[in-house]
Structure 1
């Protein structure tokens, strides 16, 4: 079912568009949230350790909130293949940042983790969202979320956590991703996570090559049609670099274009590194869709 926004733009409906996440309320029938990224890792694909130090991570998280981010997503383990990080070290990386940010701001805090132990500690520390980029690889994580008030982001990816997945193949990338997410939604429900606390993410670039991710992006509406708020994590990713021939430092324009297209196709959360630019872009989309009034209006008045 679709809700008409204008004569030329139509967006699929969301079953539970109004969400209370942490201390904030979102109406995803007319709002696009910006999720900032703070990686407390020495080897994240984009930051390369810039926010690994605790004080730098906290400073970046608070600054993102001050710059207008609706959410701040804190991660202690990269998605990319690599050696297993001990549980205690992941906890030491993310929990102090969550606690410090919660003390400074009412911004929604999410934690990027696939471990149920980290999810439980993060929720206790103030996180309102668990962002699992492994598609509930460990079903115990769904149990943790079900026993809390937190929301769960279910992301499409095929590999076991931090394991390589060379040369991914799909019979139909958008159809396969949507079917995977539908199956994982059923798993989350079976473990007690209600629909109004489920968010989905098709996983741009995660176990996908550039052509697959481009096709998935232009068919983003098929994922949105599952009826859940859908996250587009497109910022500075390799599909943008390979498409434009741009190094990581020069992918902002491509990232904003990918986020805007995703939003027009139904994305309701965009995960972005450059908060100020992303907030402006999404506010502009909201205004064009008739959801936001201009900050002021003097031109030709």
Structure 2
């Protein structure tokens, strides 16, 4: 199932539902770390209109601990296999580890969602040798320390240039832009101000010639302005999703699928009415 083809066929952004099979994710850690619970959550998301299910086995929240490869495999591979067997839905693996990517590709995963943009040794080659699509994300530093003191001279320019360089690295390996999605990495080595600058200018990334993913659901950039904990950031997350959609995002990565689908339907109706008037 080709994600970029789904994007082209849709009049509104696709909704990527987050399925964390981890004990320590910032928002929903421990809720879905069994196959039966994960399948129930996948079914719930499908019932509410999800387009892609993104499965992650290692938290990338600020300060998160490293997970050994064998542990991460045990967390995610059975869930990928079960969801692919049970449902007709695009499945994404949220991981930066090449060995896990390779095994997930063998199970038929549709997208590799890599917070390190294929910088790990061997990652580029594994993607190049497959037909899988990939999401390249910008991150300053690493999850353990990325929020200690994020610093940029020009956050928009630096994130743009980084993604441009990663596209060039992909091109050298024969990975064309039709297989690539870009993510500016909200919350990954950015202050609140940096995040809102990127959100305001999100559409500029479209000039790189790839589909664009926005993932700010329940993140600290929303808590910083609402003073609400992650579980109470639904309204703020929906505002972020709508702004992202209006600023060119092709995929919105979220925890709250049904509510986001409804919000994007309103955006879509407005855009269609605007087009009819013109």
In structure 1, which of residues 50, 71, 85 is the aligned counterpart of residue 31 of structure 2? 50
Seen in structure 2, the aligned counterparts of structure 1 residues 28 and 199 have a Cα distance that, compared at 3 Å, is farther
- Is 1:60 the equivalent of 2:5? no
Unpaired stretches in structure 2, ≥5 consecutive residues: none
C-alpha separation between the residues in 1 aligned to 2:85 and 2:213?
26
- Is 1:34 the equivalent of 2:25? no
Q: Compute the displacement of 1:52 (Å).
A: 1.8
Tell me if structure 2 keeps the 8 A contact 1:38–1:75. yes
The corresponding residue for 2:160 is: 178
**Count of residues paired in the alignment:** 272
Q: Which secondary structure does the structure 1 equivalent of 2:54 belong to? A: strand
Which contiguous aligned blocks of 4+ residues in structure 1 show a shift greater than 4 angstroms?
none
The corresponding residue for 2:90 is: 108
The corresponding residue for 1:284 is: 266
Q: Compute the displacement of 1:224 (Å).
A: 2.1
C-alpha separation between the residues in 2 aligned to 1:25 and 1:274?
20
Question: Which has the higher mean CA deviation after the structures are superposed, 282-291 or 163-172?
Answer: 282-291
The corresponding residue for 1:204 is: 186
The corresponding residue for 2:171 is: 189
C-alpha separation between the residues in 2 aligned to 1:282 and 1:199?
20
C-alpha separation between the residues in 1 aligned to 2:180 and 2:83?
23
Q: Deviations over 1:128-182 (max 9, x none)?
A: 000001122215212112211210100000224x431321101111111111111
The corresponding residue for 1:238 is: 220
Unpaired stretches in structure 1, ≥5 consecutive residues: 1-18, 293-301
- Is 1:78 the equivalent of 2:52? no
Tell me if structure 2 keeps the 8 A contact 1:70–1:107. yes
C-alpha separation between the residues in 2 aligned to 1:53 and 1:109?
17
Tell me if structure 2 keeps the 8 A contact 1:131–1:154. yes
C-alpha separation between the residues in 1 aligned to 2:2 and 2:169?
22
C-alpha separation between the residues in 2 aligned to 1:29 and 1:105?
20
C-alpha separation between the residues in 1 aligned to 2:88 and 2:165?
33
Tell me if structure 1 keeps the 8 A contact 2:3–2:110. yes
Seen in structure 2, the aligned counterparts of structure 1 residues 291 and 26 have a Cα distance that, compared at 3 Å, is farther
The corresponding residue for 2:122 is: 140
Tell me if structure 2 keeps the 8 A contact 1:28–1:268. no
Q: Compute the displacement of 1:50 (Å).
A: 1.1
Tell me if structure 1 keeps the 8 A contact 2:152–2:158. yes
TM-score, normalized by length of structure 1?
0.86
Seen in structure 2, the aligned counterparts of structure 1 residues 137 and 63 have a Cα distance that, compared at 3 Å, is same
